[in-house]
Copies of this chain bind each other. A is one copy, B any other.
Amino acid sequence: MPQMNMVQAINDALRVAMRRDKRVVLLGEDVGKVGGVFRVTAGLFDEFGDARVIDTPLSEGGIIGAAVGMAMYGLVPIPEIQFADFIWPAYDQIVNELAKYRYRSGGEYPVSMVIRTPVGGGIRGGHYHSQHPEAHFVCVPGLKVVIPSNAYDAKGLLLSAIADPDPVLFFEPKRVYRAAKGEVPEGEYTVPLSSAAVVRAGDDVTVLAYGAMLYEALDASAKAQQQGVHCEVIDLRTLWPVDIDTILRSVEKTGRLVIVHEAPRTGGYGAELVSLVCEKAFYHLQAPPVRVTGFDTPFPYTLETEYMPLSHRILPAVLQVARA
């Protein structure tokens, strides 16, 4: 099986989807000739041409609005937002239009697409090239939110998302774009949406993580093990609708919960996870759930590694929860 990093795996998924289905089109800023500022769409312009791999004017609202219309027609648009930090000009089209289209039209106009966008910090991007905005989308009924942590899942989840009848935000953790290498099958395969993966088994503490922070959670869990604390680490993969069963199964076993995410703590996605677990497994909890997250500030530049919830901050949280 070929080795690929996440950029290559996503590129491969796009190629597979475009070869199989003429309706699939890509659009965005710099996705064409230059193949994306992260090279995720490299080579696709040459293979599929200007009508299907489209460099657009600089307007995220225009990109998503046009993609909505394309989807209504019957194409399968995969718009790219160059950095998640620049998705806000399209937020109206996403929240008020895309997410509500099927509902507001009584089912007459289902509108689905996959919005691809790189997220997260750790690339020295400061607060305009590091945001991790899942909380802003998980709270919007009608959207699905997906984030892979490795190359295999990236391709398999993206192919699932493209086939999905609902709009999907597909977040790409750019900190591990190149580092997350692994074996990736050629051709078609899928990783189902709304299915989390238990990536490390353990009985003491459940650690929920996703995207680039999964590796930090794993690193902290390995270190915790040396101190006798056995973590069960779950890669959520789909943030909404989340795989609640896998989470509950683990928490019912461990009774202890740590959640890791890069976004600021307040109003973050971690709060929803805490609440779900409290609602559904309260009496299993033996300690207060803990969120290890970015701080409630804009994402900084020089101090980014202090800002992010890296292994050195996860480990004490895990130990504290284990011993509470």
Of B91, B240, B272, B278, which contacts A278 at CB under 8 A? B278
Of B89, B96, B103, B296, which contacts A141 at CB under 8 A? B296
Interface centre among A135, A139, A264, A270 (most CB of B within 10 A): A139
Residues in B whose Cβ lies below 8 Å from that of A264: 139, 141
A88 smallest CB distance to B (angstroms): 4
Separation of A136 and B264 alpha carbons in the complex (Å): 13
B104 in contact with A298 (CB, 8 Å)? yes
A187 smallest CB distance to B (angstroms): 35
Separation of A287 and B282 alpha carbons in the complex (Å): 8
Question: Closest chain B residue to A239 by CB distance?
Answer: B267
Show the binding face of A for B, using Cβ within 8 Å: 61, 85, 88-89, 91-92, 95-96, 99-100, 103-104, 127-128, 135-136, 138-142, 240, 263-264, 266-272, 274-275, 278-279, 282-283, 285, 287-291, 296-298
A297 in contact with B141 (CB, 8 Å)? yes
A127 in contact with B139 (CB, 8 Å)? no
Question: Closest chain B residue to A138 by CB distance?
Answer: B267
A301 smallest CB distance to B (angstroms): 10
Copies of this protein, total: 2
Q: With contacts A88-B95, A96-B85, A103-B298 known, is A278 near B267, CB below 8 A?
A: no
Interface centre among A89, A140, A278 (most CB of B within 10 A): A278
Can you list 19 A-B contacts (CB < 8 A)?
A: A99-B298, A100-B127, A139-B266, A139-B267, A141-B264, A141-B266, A240-B266, A266-B272, A267-B269, A270-B275, A271-B271, A271-B274, A274-B274, A274-B275, A275-B291, A278-B278, A279-B289, A279-B290, A279-B291
A88 in contact with B85 (CB, 8 Å)? no
Of B61, B100, B282, which contacts A288 at CB under 8 A? B282
Separation of A269 and B138 alpha carbons in the complex (Å): 12
The 6 closest A-B pairs by CB, nearest first: A139-B267, A88-B92, A282-B288, A271-B271, A138-B267, A274-B275
A16 smallest CB distance to B (angstroms): 32
A205 smallest CB distance to B (angstroms): 15
Residues in B whose Cβ lies below 8 Å from that of A263: 139
